[in-house]
A and B are shown apart, each in its own frame.
Chain A
Amino acid sequence: MADKMELDAGFSCPVPVAARDAVLLGHGSGGKMSADLLRDLLLPAFQNPILARQDDQAVVEINGLRLAFTTDTFVVKPLFFPGGDIGSLAVNGTVNDLAMGGAAPLFLSLAFILEEGLPMDVLRKVIESVSGAAARAGVQIVTGDTKVVEKGSGDGLFVNTSGIGLVPDGVRLSANQARPGDSVILSGSIGDHGITILSQREGLEFESPIESDTAALHTLVADMLRATNEIRCLRDPTRGGLSSSLNEIAACSRVGIQLQEDAIPIREEVQGACEMLGLDPMYVANEGKLVAIAGPAAAETLLETMRRNPLGREARIIGAVTDAHPGMVTMRTRLGTSRIVDLLAGDQLPRIC
């Protein structure tokens, strides 16, 4: 039977689904589809040099003061998860976006979109959490807004926070400043937040003691900036994971980045969950980690400084900036081979087997 078959007849692939006539979930993944949306629709509409830098925050100069300004919307499901909730996440996320510009965060706005029928207790708990997180971070919520949408038009509760902070004199951090020879430093283990959320979401029955790493990182950043003026760039690898942050830096600075696989700390529970689900922790979200690009001479000092702060206790040098493969992140594997660490197209999808 099969040995008589003519195998080369009619082998083909379909015409691609290229037309993006609707917004897909992948457009919010932090991967290539998000980057395309930014490049094709958003950046051309609002051309200006501040936006063009594509950092996590805008730094604007007003009467000699350098203000960092940023905004972020939080749509996490479930609203409460081990290690945090949407309220603390909304404060820490915006504080971190300011901190990645080297800014001391000062004031936040808080805007809710609430779905009709949301239990008042849930809202109360979220507000308490916002309040606690703001107090811990030393920022004040100074303005806000509340909208309610009809049942079915939202998913319980969405939060937006915007924030402003002051950038100290002499601090200029941007994704376009990485230079060959620089060190790549990571503040701790990756994947904790994303795997926590995934294991809670949609009743996925994966019991694990993993907690979200959500934390405000500005004190760690302040320590780092005091220790050296050789920091080129900071990023908090949130959605899209460490891979997306490093790919952005490689692209903006037109450099290559080479990582050492065995230097990247990953908790055993996170690694185990990723193996089971067919996910790569390099693409899983973090909410309390940062990656720094720093001049090679300062790397050791910086590492020591970071390790003295509880938020950077597990800090490691995970790689170096190179002039090979500009715009590309590569990894020296445990086997001594090399591979690409690519930007994903959309969301990371679990594999079938």
Chain B
Amino acid sequence: MKYLDEYRDGTIARGLAAEIARRVTRPWVLMEICGGQTHTLMRFGIDEMLPPGIEMVHGPGCPVCVTSLETIDKAIEIASRPGVTLVSYGDMLRVPGSRTDLFHVRANGGDVRIVYSPTEALKIARANPLRQVVFFAVGFETTAPANAMAVWLAKREGLANFSMLASHVLVPPAMSALLGSPRNRVQGFIGPGHVCTVMGYHEYEQLIRKFRVPIVVGGFEPVDLLEAILMLVTQLEQGRAEVENQYVRSVSYAGNLPAQKILAEVFEVCDRKWRGIGGIPESGLNIRAEYAEFDADRIFHTEKLSAEESPDCISAEVLQGLKKPVDCTAFGVRCTPENPLGAPMVSSEGACAAYYRYRRHAVAGSGSR
């Protein structure tokens, strides 16, 4: 298939891997930010192609994984109420809250539906005027503009039975938090290509000035990732720390301006709790007061709901790149995709699930590095 086969081409990929091996003179720890990139690394076994000195650690860019427990609990609480139809992307339904998940809410009679876009949620609301239709909106800057558009359209139409439980998160503050941690090991980042398609990559210049770490915005196919790794290794070996863009077919410096405009119209920056990472200041997006009538958190009075996360799994260290999924004693034993102990095992973009699905034959019985 055009625009796909060339980015999965074995000859090109092996050539890039060989070039990486030629340039590396010492070990480097690199992190891919986005869960989609983690998924590609695992699915295509790219770790097998890299020289031993390059260690990939997996970042917090899985929206399902980092959505806080209390947000999941809020969705479950709202979905359990009579007269409510909760719609969301499929992955969210399996994420365990404090006591149950949305699949169980549905099995117990709740109206929970899977959609592929927020505009489908609007359609459901228009078709069911007697039901309160709540769109459970999670994700990074990538999904935020479309969700903002749904709220904006609902306001313009006066769609009174539509609202959104929004729990968006932002990438640069999370990277800043990771880099500022005394335990940080990451020496270079593959930037999130989809996020940067929307936001551009000027935001990352500030991070580089502060932390002197190279960032290469990367795509999601094997050749994209290998090329991004090569660009990072080249910078590191030459002692440079700059923002570079590998994903030029999608990402521009300024990003998608109309998308940024609608995002700023509907959402405002807020502090956000990340599952597995904790609270990060100014790292989330909430619905602005001007759109309060579409904010499910206010309509259903769930603002005060809070949840304590139990200390059973090491997702914190996994999401910060301090540990690999296979370093966890529960991995593949007590914690599997059908019985996840933590969110990174739930979503196919989660690092633990990606290891489990694609790599456990290669890592069985061995340490992570």
Contacts and interface: CB of A to CB of B under 8 A. Distances in A.
A117 B358 CA distance: 47
Interface string A9-41: 111111111100111111000001100100000
Interface string B42-54: 1111101100000
Contact of A3 (B93, B143, B176, B222): B176
B366 to A, nearest CB: 15
Interface in B354-369: 356-362
A12 B94 contact: no
B121 to A, nearest CB: 12
A203 to B, nearest CB: 7
Interface stretch (B95-103, B242-250, B257-265): B95-103
B114 A339 contact: no
A278 B283 CA distance: 26
A17 B64 CA distance: 16
14 contacts: A5-B177, A6-B278, A11-B315, A14-B342, A16-B96, A17-B100, A21-B104, A25-B106, A339-B358, A340-B359, A349-B114, A350-B89, A351-B36, A352-B89
A12 B274 CA distance: 10
Given A7-B177, A12-B311, A15-B310, 8 more contacts: A7-B277, A11-B317, A17-B104, A24-B106, A203-B123, A204-B116, A335-B45, A346-B94
Interface in A278-309: 278
A328 interface: yes
A26 B4 contact: no
Contact of B91 (A6, A275, A336, A350): A350
A127 interface: no
| 3 pairs of A and B residues whose beta carbons are closest in the complex | A11-B316, A13-B342, A337-B45
Contact of A12 (B180, B310, B358): B310
Interface string A186-202: 00000000000000001
Interface of B: 1, 4, 8-10, 13-14, 36, 39, 42-46, 48-49, 63-64, 69, 89-94, 96-101, 103-104, 106-108, 113-114, 116, 120, 123, 138-140, 142-143, 173, 176-181, 183, 194, 210, 222, 275-283, 307, 309-313, 315-317, 319-320, 335-343, 347-349, 356-362
A12 B177 contact: no
Given A5-B278, A14-B69, A335 B143 contact: no
A272 B1 contact: yes
Determine which residue in A7, A22, A328, A338 has the highest number of CB atoms from chain B within 10 A of its CB, and name it. Answer: A7
A345 interface: yes
A339 B1 contact: no
A271 interface: yes
A279 to B, nearest CB: 10
A18 B69 CA distance: 16
Contact of A335 (B49, B92, B97, B178): B49
A4 interface: yes
A147 interface: no
Nearest to B316: A11
Contacts of A346: 94, 103, 338
A268 B1 contact: yes
Contacts of A325: 361
A123 interface: no
B107 A12 contact: no
Nearest to A342: B357
A8 interface: yes
Contacts of B310: 12-15
A62 interface: no
A330 interface: yes
Interface in A302-351: 325, 328, 330, 333-340, 342, 344-347, 349-351
Contacts of A9: 278
A309 B116 CA distance: 39
A278 B139 CA distance: 15
B116 A352 contact: no
Interface of A: 1-18, 21-26, 32-33, 36, 202-204, 268, 271-272, 275, 277-278, 325, 328, 330, 333-340, 342, 344-347, 349-353
A107 B150 CA distance: 53
B315 A12 contact: yes
A11 B89 contact: no
Given A1-B282, A16-B96, A353 B181 contact: no
A340 B360 contact: yes
A13 B42 contact: no
A1 B275 CA distance: 19
Contacts of A3: 176-177, 179-180, 210
B57 to A, nearest CB: 14
A14 B97 contact: yes
B353 to A, nearest CB: 9
Nearest to A350: B90
Given A328-B361, A349-B91, A12 B312 contact: yes
Nearest to B64: A352
A102 to B, nearest CB: 32
A352 B42 contact: no
B174 to A, nearest CB: 8
A32 B177 contact: no
A155 to B, nearest CB: 14
Given A11-B277, A25-B103, A352 B63 contact: yes
B114 A2 contact: no
A9 B311 CA distance: 10
A280 to B, nearest CB: 8
A1 B10 CA distance: 44
B91 A13 contact: no
A295 B93 CA distance: 43
A244 B194 CA distance: 32
A14 B140 CA distance: 22
B45 A33 contact: no
Contacts of B317: 8, 11
A353 B108 contact: no
Contacts of B139: 352-353
B313 A12 contact: yes
A169 B120 CA distance: 55
B180 A2 contact: yes
Given A9-B278, A350-B116, A353-B142, A330 B361 contact: yes
B217 to A, nearest CB: 15
A353 B63 contact: yes
Contacts of A202: 113
B183 A1 contact: no
Given A340-B358, A346-B94, A335 B180 contact: no
